[in-house]
Structure 1
């Protein structure tokens, strides 16, 4: 874990890999495609390259006519169309001479949601935490509560695609406004009751947070979870989300005080309680409850890992190291436990042991970018520079848009143009 708690290339290389269109891909046949807003999973240059590969012509929609305008995933839901779309664009869309689509719709039409396309670039929890500047533990909480859903899991290591990155950005904004994960989950449950056919409201719906209310945008209307529609925007009450979060937390604390004695709880209930305590920042109590759950139900690799993460955050690196070891002993291909063990060993100056732990992780998951990154740093510290360089390059190949990629380029002397 680095301090943030994780914690010359040719132009064609910098543009990313060339992806052959799949059989199901739409042929653009000269269609002019423009992008507005921040893209969620690729750079604008990569997106323009993909348009060319599919036979289209990328254009600047602010200066040139376009057939399609793509709204970047990080801009959705689009609360105010005027912020991104000019009056001419909106008029053209109304007459049918221009089609406005989301970034996700574009990748689906081009058949880029499978394979190794940049649109399918994946982020590990540590990368996502660093990208959003939130604690790694927060990413894990969101994942446990299914607020974000891994695209795939390799040896217990979750990976998230650009759609989940966009969802996580929304969560991070709510978190910064004072909302807890539990509060967000409850609000989403309310919305789900109103729209039961929507499986993931935060990812699929244009949600607007107005003080203590969560509203859905339907054209010019705002809809409350109860189904009541509002049109008087000035009358929307602007509460203080931070105060609401404090009230929510106080309510949760009251529930904890009413909890039955430990001997009346089963191990799963103990784990739920431990997780809730951890989310409220009561970490020492949470650690005790994780231990109690394992004492009652037997140790499990996932629980050992959660406890190790918590102990690390408490500053008890020695105890965290032992719990990581225990998780690996119970599940030898638990690659994230191996990676985090290596990080703890490196942090405590045991670099040779750290390299061994990283080698173990790569033996099970050779394409784990985080491990190549941490391995490269450890090998640099050991002055095994040629070996380190190989891992820096491997890391860049696997995760060229990672928050840590600039560090790798600096180390390798790569100048991005």
Structure 2
């Protein structure tokens, strides 16, 4: 069991209630932890409660709907304290302990959980809006803190704010509080419609110290972002056996597109004799984030024409090709990615999914098995391999992977499907 440090005596004797679903551990584990440090776990309707902890699986901005009126009134009168789950773990000095086991989510799981395209999760990751708890073979894993952040970002999107507008708003907040790098994760940020407000003391401060920031005033040309397209709702894959041969040289059409991209690059970097690879990469990412799929693809090709083959750029081309509906071409690029970096497990997983989508089930199964050979605890691959095995009537083999999936990702948005396949759901 995770142990709190001796320095956490400020919570000793406090009566603490949990509201909503916890992200870091089960309620039973959390209550036991409170007892170990001398606190008293109580029900939320306890009249003598001192601290109410809002679970990380709940939206902080929904606190008015989650907390009973009696608790809201007590909090308003400062008779009790309401804190987020992450604040409790920080007070207990648990967040940095290696043995603090947290549910981790892959990009695909996180996308499903918060209801946004996978491409949007990748954008947030690239921009530093969400930060993985760890990475394994290039595959990022996000914890419950990042789930809460992603949900706030998703709410802004649902309210009509563009990805570019959100990023500009957060940049303003960071300037207003320069010691904070990630406002959504580190500050008491309140979302009101399409706007962000920073709580300080008794009042609310708007980005940059201004009275109100208007998302609608942001340049509409920057608003498409990742909302226009969807990426694979899955992760990695591994391919062996009858892999395609070397990719053929570019066709005349591809050469023309590449030439057009080069001309575009010359216009963008007018006044510079030769843009650097870093500048070209930043441009490619901007095109990708703006939903300019074809231009982004050709930009990455241009970069590799300069640098030579690169696993990351091939992977991005593969995802963009998939978003653009060219599944066969995406398959070839995933193969190339794996050839360039055999430990790129997310590329292997996506290859398996594409092969399954193309009806190449034996190759898909081999790809998934290859991914697990490099990272046996990859939950998404167990999930997709189990589904594929079920599709080819290999139910006993599928059962093993459904069970492994649940062992690794019991809180996944796909967990109920696994339980249903295993007959574990109540009728």
In the superposition, the TM-score normalised over structure 2's length comes to 0.79
* Matched residue SS, 2:209: coil
* Matched residue SS, 2:82: strand
Match of 2:189 in 1: 207
Match of 1:277 in 2: 287
Matches within 5 A, 1:363-382: 363-382=373-392
What are the ranges of 5 or more consecutive residues in structure 1 without an aligned counterpart? 1-18, 231-235
Matches within 5 A, 1:38-77: 38-39=20-21, 41=23, 46-55=26-35, 57-73=40-56
Q: Choose which of 124, 131, 136 in structure 1 pairs with 2:106.
A: 124
Match of 1:350 in 2: 360
Match of 1:321 in 2: 331
Distance 1:245 1:177, change over 3 A: farther
Verify the 8 A CA contact 2:174 2:180 in the aligned structure 1: yes
Q: Deviations over 1:240-264 (max 9, x none)?
A: x4574625449xxxx9996136973
Query: How far apart are the structure 2 equivalents of 1:369 and 1:397?
Result: 9
Query: How far apart are the structure 1 equivalents of 2:109 and 2:193?
Result: 31
Match of 1:15 in 2: none
Match of 2:404 in 1: 394
Match of 1:259 in 2: 268
* Matched residue SS, 1:134: coil
1:34 is aligned to 2:17: yes
Matches within 5 A, 1:183-202: 183-202=165-184
Distance 1:330 1:145, change over 3 A: same
1:147 is aligned to 2:129: yes
Aligned length: 383
Q: CA deviation at 1:90?
A: 5.3
Q: CA deviation at 1:405?
A: 0.5
What root-mean-square deviation, in Å, do the aligned CA atoms of Structure 1 and Structure 2 show? Answer: 3.2
Q: Deviations over 1:362-414 (max 9, x none)?
A: 11111110000011111112222211100000000100010100110010000
Verify the 8 A CA contact 1:93 1:100 in the aligned structure 2: no
Query: How far apart are the structure 2 equivalents of 1:61 and 1:211?
Result: 29
Distance 1:306 1:92, change over 3 A: closer
Matches within 5 A, 1:209-224: 209=191, 214-224=196-206
Between stretches 388-397 and 219-228, larger displacement belongs to: 219-228
Distance 1:25 1:402, change over 3 A: farther
Q: CA deviation at 1:52?
A: 2.8
Q: Deviations over 1:85-137 (max 9, x none)?
A: 64566547866x6443321122234454345656x110000000111111111
Q: CA deviation at 1:74?
A: 5.2
Query: How far apart are the structure 1 equivalents of 2:136 and 2:409?
Result: 16
* Matched residue SS, 1:100: strand
Q: CA deviation at 1:58?
A: 3.6
In the superposition, the TM-score normalised over structure 1's length comes to 0.81
Q: Choose which of 152, 159, 164 in structure 2 pairs with 1:170.
A: 152
What are the ranges of 5 or more consecutive residues in structure 2 without an aligned counterpart? 225-263
Query: How far apart are the structure 2 equivalents of 1:403 and 1:75?
Result: 15
Q: CA deviation at 1:148?
A: 0.6
